[in-house]
Chains A and B, each alone.
Chain A
Amino acid sequence: GAVVSQHPSWVICKSGTSVKIECRSLDFQATTMFWYRQFPKQSLMLMATSNEGSKATYEQGVEKDKFLINHASLTLSTLTVTSAHPEDSSFYICSAEPGTASYEQYFGPGTRLTVT
């Protein structure tokens, strides 16, 4: 089956620093990747959609200068949280679509970010 990995799985950083999270599709090429944020006991909130080689499309209310997304290849997308603050502490999950013929999304295991 389609496997998506994320790294790191858990990160603690100090307020004001930046953190990069990687999302990789391991056994398929992902034309589109998605970044979600999830607070405890709440559903997934889509932050942005990224297509390989083009700029990410951000959802309303998501600061694109704070959450930098790069989709450098068909198997790798990165999310950088810049100048992190405690309110950015959350569970960040990426997902990937295998291609235009399928709308199935496969999720990574998530990254827990704690900003102190």
Chain B
Amino acid sequence: QKEVEQDPGPLSVPEGAIVSLNCTYSNSAFQYFMWYRQYSRKGPELLMYTYSSGNKEDGRFTAQVDKSSKYISLFIRDSQPSDSATYLCAMKNYGQNFVFGPGTRLSVLP
């Protein structure tokens, strides 16, 4: 079992839809969780950063962490074609390096 699992997609949704992106993990020691957006041939861009369990909202983006289920989610409301990218989750424990998921490719169709 991989340490971090993520459905690679591709996930196609119509413009305006609510998108749900998820990652599961096996290491219960993870404390820090991040979501990145990566456009083709570009470096990843940090979207959300959360510590431990709970929700965090930033504009159209909401990140959720459920440590009891070892499950994290990123929700995108009112999705736009410009949201089309690969979304990577990443997580770590104190003193360790981040572990990245393989990424989910999202296409938002106009």
Interface residues of A, Cβ cutoff 8 Å to B: 4, 6, 34, 41-44, 46, 49, 91, 93, 95, 103-110, 112
Contact = CB atoms under 8 A, between A and B. Distances in A.
A103 B101 contact: no
Tell me if B's interface is mostly helix, strand, loop or mixed: strand
Given A43-B102, A44-B44, A93-B44, A107 B36 contact: yes
Question: 10 closest pairs, A vs B, by CB?
Answer: A107-B43, A43-B102, A109-B43, A110-B43, A107-B44, A103-B32, A44-B100, A93-B43, A43-B100, A108-B43
Interface of B: 32, 34, 36, 41-46, 49, 88, 90, 92, 97-98, 100-103, 105
Nearest to B94: A103
Contacts, number: 45
